[in-house]
Structure 1
Amino acid sequence: MPVLTATGAGVRRRRRWLFRNLDVTAEPGEIVAVVGPPGSGRTTVLLALARRFKLSAGSVVGSAALGYVPDVTSPEPVLTVLEHVRERLLLVGRSPREAVEVPLLGLDPTLKGFELSPYQRQVLGLVLARLENPRVVALDGVDEGLDRRESLSLWGLLADVAADGIAVVVTAREVDPARVSTSVRLGGAAEQPPGPALEQADDARLRERRVARAAAELLAPAGGGDEPPPPDPEAEGEPTEAAVQDEPAAQGESAAEPEAAAEDEAAATDEETAEDEETAEDEDARGEEKS
């Protein structure tokens, strides 16, 4: 029985279809590859199949746990591998103490997010996704930034996941047909997935992270580690419109300050000159009176 089915699925943005008329099924233990050049809509298809992206047409039955999807489930830069595992355990309602028993598939538990290579990010995404006990796992760009050895290793891990009866959905530029059960090939790269779409897909994850951090703070012992808290993803962003509008005004004020200072200095000089002239006149007058 299929664990994931898409029927006539499509996503449209403004007047353009990112993809449409997508029909695909995934059985337990199968590997489905969404193949196409960059900008062909691979990530959008993946998020739609994972029920993280609203469809404009058709339907998707089933859902998937997301592995590594750049800009959506990227590792937190300052959290270690082990801390990512503890956080995900909290998100799925499990005890963070179970983290010591989770297979890390060769990852160093002390590595921080910003230190991870593209291969290690994919492996961490796979580790975290499996903590949800999913029926389907989805990973994006499994052939990006990997050398041949890393690629073979990652495909070996994906085969192990499939052997456990979990369906796997991946995106790539190209795949070996012998490695997958189904391959969905997309068209040209005329349309890029919109930025707001990734933000939409990530909203729920951001809320989950805040809940997990709050729970972690409650569970953390007093006088904990010295590492700074992870940055709030929502705190990073572009300057507000008000800040942009205020900037020219501030520059105008800075430019006006030297002019005002110069005017004040000239006025003070004029006053001193006038006082000197008045003093000279007084002395002349007093000299005339004495004579």
Structure 2
Amino acid sequence: MSTPDIPTEEERLEAELAEQARVSSGDWDSVKPGKAQNFGQSFRRMVGLLKPHAWAFAFASLLGAIGVVLAVIAPKVLGAATNIIYDGFISNVLHDVYHVPVGTTQQQVVDGLNAQGQTDQANMIAAMGPFTVGAGVDFDALRYVIAWILVIYVASALLSWIQGYIINVIMVRAMWQLREDVEAKINRLPLSYFDRVQRGELISRVTNDIDNITQTMQQSLSSALTSVLTVVGVLIMMFSISWQLAIVALVALPLMGVIFGVIGPRSQKAFGIQWRKVGRLNARVEESFSGHALVRVFGREADSMEKFQVENEELYQASFKAQFLSGIMMPAMMFIGSLTYVGIAVLGGIMVANGALRIGDVQAFIQYSQQFTQPLSQLGGMAAVVQSGTASAERVFELLDADEQDPDAADSPALVEGNGVIEFEHVNFSYSPDHPLIRDLSFRVEPGQTVAIVGPTGAGKTTLVNLLMRFYELDAGSILLDGQDIAVLTRDDVRSRTGMVLQDPWLFAGTIRENIRYGRQSATDEEVVAAAVATRVDRFVHSLPDGYDTVLDEDASNVSAGEKQLITIARAFVAQPAVLILDEATSSVDTRTELLLQHAMAVLREGRTSFVIAHRLSTIRDADLILVMEHGDIVEKGTHEELIAARGAYWRLYQAQFEQAAAELDPILAGIDDESADGEPAERSVQS
């Protein structure tokens, strides 16, 4: 089947080599990570995922604000405790060291120092709280203050815990909804989207990128809210203590802003490249693992490993740059915070010595300076996480914004009951406007007929049935099902009348019975067994340990390729479709099993319109109508005998495949006829 706008292997390799050269040379600006540079819009949209939980988030924010207020008040209260201890200590020192009489008041001490010309000491004593020489520490007041400190810290911690719990619940629910949206989106995407996007790349967006968004939201938003509130509260408290020290603390802001402005955009771009490289590497790994057997058969392990190493090296370079840029942001901000701390300690000591501040206030301010720089450093570290999460969010949003298939009309007519008459009327279709594939195709298939579609690769055989299933929309013309144009019917109605078996069998992890019943959930066990008997599944099921309850693993590797295909055919038959489509359905079975299937299908297709796409012409010799396609056109049509007699395109295909092999099939056909007459099953065939 042709695919739309897919680059050739040579074009893809040329693009990859060019990008590798840019990466190796350090030209990161020329490597564009999709939409990764539109940070603001994507970040707002990522935060907008929380909109359904706005009230819960507001409540959590209120709890966080109260918790921050308490945490910000605590150093001030703790400074008061320090002042009580320091005042008591000085009162004892004045008596024990300087022999000031017990009972002397603070003012008397200040006056005495001023009289002696010791102005600095007098100012320092005057800045202290009221005390009496020799009274010592006021333990009653100290116990009261310490009790308040414990209450404040416990309440602040409890509120912060509740806030974190609520926000985590919000995040988990928001990401659950995002996964639901992505899954629903995938089901609304047209088949052409999956022709363009690699499977590994899509899996990476659905798994790795959403997980990265989850971690970003959980780790950043709750901490960001607390950090911002802490910065505001601490600023207010610092200015209430000393505007001079507050100015010193604020010097850190422009320096941190410069660091963030320089490193942030580069870090965001690097993370965008990193996650794109992750998607490409996943696609490479998925491709290698799914075709692992063929890689070994053709001895291409070294080639596969070389390609993996090239893309793994690209991911290493991208990850190293992203992590390096994000990693230096936090240490740089901590360095600035340390410089600020030194400045505050020196200036605060001078102000205490001059009596401009009490020692407890300086202690509180030093704590506030740490509380001020710590959330700023956290915000800087979070910036790197947010950059990475936003880059992943952009990739997920790109998937969510992809063009969807046109929705079914709200006034679609109901599907009428019929026998499965199919009419193609002047159908035109192309994957690309520049390359028309099917042109003015018309034919009619009567109920119960089997139509075989043959032709060389790329002739449009699979495209024909994809149009019948409405996987793609027509450019012109119409397809009628029992007189109704399928374009006006809902897709579910069209596909409910159709059973399809693809060339590559797909089974899910479950029992054989469940896999057959997948075609129609309401099928009884008797109907499942009847379909299995008709399609020769019953022949090998009884040789399995648990029969129909045998559990197939994820890849159904505990049955052969031919047996997997037989199960998928049974699944299509149990659906009881009016139209049956077999797209190379017998390509994975051996010759004897293939012939057994022909006899089974001869019984099961009674009353059904059947389309069979085949390269092996032995599967369609008994078809009522054979359509021979070349370049999207039907060049011949007729029965097997008529087309052989015409000695045209079909005859040439037949000569190439089965002129000699046809004679060799006659003894096998005779054996199957004898088996059918006796009603006894033959021994289980060995699957290829």
- Which bracket does the TM-score occupy, shorter chain normalised? 0.5 to 0.7
Question: How far did 1:174 drift?
Answer: 4.3
Q: Is the 8 A contact 1:89 1:96 kept in 2?
A: no
Residues 121 and 171 of structure 1: CA distance in aligned 2, closer, same or farther (over 3 Å): farther
Within the alignment, does 1:147 sit opposite 2:578 as a pair? no
Offset of 1:111 from its aligned partner? 6.0
* C-alpha distance in structure 1 between counterparts of 2:430 and 2:603, whole Å: 35
Equivalent of residue 4 in structure 1, options 422, 434, 437: 422
1:108-187 correspondence to structure 2 within 5 Å: 108=541, 109=548, 110=550, 112=552, 114-115=556-557, 116-162=559-605, 164-176=606-618, 178-187=621-630
Question: What SS does the corresponding residue of 1:46 show, helix, strand or coil?
Answer: helix
C-alpha separation between the residues in 2 aligned to 1:67 and 1:111?
A: 23
Shift of 1:45: 1.0
Show the counterpart of 1:67.
500
Shift of 1:180: 0.6
Shift of 1:102: 4.3
Distance in 2 (alpha carbons) for counterparts of 1:100 and 1:20: 41
In structure 1, how many angstroms separate the alpha carbons of the residues matched to 2:627 and 2:479? 15
Aligned CA distance change for structure 1 residues 17 and 174 (closer, same or farther; 3 Å) = farther
Whole-angstrom distance in 2 between the partners of 1:20 and 1:174? 26
Q: State the Cα deviation string for residues 222-262 of structure 1 (Å, max 9, x = none).
A: xxxxxxxxxxxxxxxxxxxxxxxxxxxxxxxxxxxxxxxxx
Unaligned runs of 5+ in 2: 1-418, 482-493, 542-547, 633-688
Shift of 1:171: 0.2
Separation in 1, partners of 2:480, 2:562: 30
| CA shift in 2, pair 1:118/1:151, >3 Å | same
Alignment counterpart, residue 509 of structure 2, candidates 78, 88, 110: 78
CA deviations 1:110-163 (Å, max 9, x no partner) are: 26262344433443233222333221111101342332212211211221122x
Higher share in strand: 1
Q: For each residue in 1:205-229, what CA deviation from the matched residue of structure 2 results, as whole angstroms up to 9, or x when unmatched?
A: xxxxxxxxxxxxxxxxxxxxxxxxx
Alignment of 1:1-291 (within 5 A): 3-14=421-432, 15-62=434-481, 63=494, 64-70=497-503, 74-90=505-521, 94=522, 101-105=529-533, 106-107=536-537, 108=541, 109=548, 110=550, 112=552, 114-115=556-557, 116-162=559-605, 164-176=606-618, 178-187=621-630
Amino acid at match of 1:11: F
Q: Deviations over 1:14-51 (max 9, x none)?
A: 12123232222222221101111233222111221233
CA distance in 2, matches of 1:145, 1:97: 27
**How far apart in 2 are the matches of 1:137 and 1:117?**
24
Q: What amino acid sits opposite 2:602 in the alignment?
A: A
Aligned amino acid, residue 585 of structure 2 = V
- What secondary structure, in the 3-state scheme, does the structure 1 residue paired with 2:617 have? coil
SS of corresponding position for 1:128: helix
Q: Letter of the aligned partner of 2:502 in structure 1?
A: V
CA–CA separation in structure 1 for the residues paired with 2:625 and 2:581: 14
Q: 1:184 Cα shift?
A: 1.3
In structure 1, the partner of 2:93 is none
Contact residue 556 and residue 564 of structure 2 kept, 8 A? no
| In structure 1, distance between residues paired with 2:531 and 2:580 | 17
Q: Is the alpha carbon distance of 1:166 and 1:80 closer, same or farther for their aligned partners in structure 2, counting shifts above 3 Å?
A: same
Structure 2 SS opposite 1:129: helix
What is the one-letter code of the residue matched to 1:38? T
User: SS in structure 2 opposite 1:22?
Assistant: strand
Q: Secondary structure at the match of 1:142?
A: coil
Query: Looking at both structures, which has the greater relative contact order when contacts are Cα pairs under 8 Å and sequence separation is at least 6?
Result: 1
**Partner SS, residue 458 of structure 2:** coil
Say what the alpha-carbon RMSD is for the aligned residues: 2.8
- What is the Cα deviation at residue 104 of structure 1? 1.0
Q: Relative to structure 2, which stretch is displaced further, 30-39 or 100-109?
A: 100-109
Larger radius of gyration: 2
Indicate how the Cα distance of structure 1 residues 65 and 119 shifts in structure 2: closer, same or farther if over 3 A, else same: farther
Assess, with a 3 A threshold, how the Cα gap between structure 1 residues 121 and 138 changes in structure 2: closer, same or farther: farther
AA aligned opposite 1:4: I
| Residue of structure 2 in register with 1:239 after alignment | none
Question: d(CA) in 2 for partners of 1:42 and 1:26?
Answer: 16
The verdict on how the C-alpha distance between 1:178 and 1:89 changes in structure 2, with shifts beyond 3 A counting, is closer
Gapped regions of structure 1 (runs ≥ 5): 190-291
SS of alignment partner, residue 39 of structure 1: coil
Alpha-carbon separation, structure 1, partners of 2:472 and 2:603: 28
Distance 1:142 1:83 in 2: 20
Amino acid at match of 2:472: F
TM-score (norm 1): 0.54
Alignment CA distance shift 1:96-1:160 (3 Å): closer
User: 1:141–1:100: structure 2 CA closer, same or farther, 3 Å change rule?
Assistant: closer
Quickly say closer, same or farther: Cα 1:118–1:140, change in 2 above 3 A: farther
Residue 83 to residue 37, structure 1, CA distance change in 2 (3 Å): same
TM-score when normalising by structure 2: 0.25
Distance in 2 (alpha carbons) for counterparts of 1:20 and 1:149 = 38
Identity within the alignment, % = 24
Give 3-state SS (helix, strand or coil) of 1:48's partner. helix
Secondary structure class of the residue paired with 1:89: coil
Contact 1:68 1:121 in 2 (8 A): no
Output the amino acid matched with 1:138.
I
| Mapped partners of 2:472, 2:563: distance in 1 | 26
Change over 3 Å in CA distance of 1:104–1:95 after alignment to 2: closer
Change over 3 Å in CA distance of 1:99–1:31 after alignment to 2? closer
Whether the aligned pair in 1 keeps the contact of 2:421 and 2:609 (CA below 8 Å) is yes
CA–CA separation in structure 2 for the residues paired with 1:57 and 1:12 = 10
